[in-house]
Amino acid sequence: MKSLPKQTRGQGLIEFALVLPLLLVLMLGIMEFSRAWMTQNIMTGAAREAARMYAVRDDTIAADARADQVLSSGGLDLSKRTLTPSNSGGAVSYRIDYQFPVSVPGFVPGLGDPIFPLSSTTTMRREWGT
């Protein structure tokens, strides 16, 4: 086996040190995107459940409680959400807005505000009062 010249010793260590920050930023970005996607899916399920409750019964209090139940079962902070029911014509709509907190604020330059707004809306046909 051929031995390496003395000038190339430690070359792999230097290359790894240069690439490591990029890999860490990429991994953190993937993790944050995954958390945001999971939060969006939980919000969609909560909006669907609340809209269904509101479509079957004309009761926004019960629909709000159902949305809160789904959101809290997903581990979301209820103080960062806004519920907006609406009733127009033969359809009811439920919108959930959530202030998604980024877990590593300031780590990525230019990120700015560590809060990203997410929203989900579901519309269903009204089944009461027809």
| Percentage of residues of the chain with pLDDT beyond 90 | 59
Identify the residue with better confidence: 73 or 1.
73
Flag the least confident range among 40-54, 61-75, 115-129: 115-129
Per-residue pLDDT reduced to its tens digit, 8-52: 678 888 999 999 999 998 998 899 899 999 999 999 999 999 999
Residue 94 main-chain phi, psi, to 5 deg: -130, 125
Q: Is 42 exposed, middle or buried (0-12, 13-18, 19+ CB in 10 A)?
A: buried
Banded model confidence at residue 111, pLDDT cuts 50, 70, 90? low
Q: First CA to last CA across the chain, in angstroms?
A: 86
Give the pLDDT confidence score for residue 5 in this predicted structure: 63
pTM assigned to the model: 0.80
Which pair of structure tokens corresponds to residue 75?
């581990």
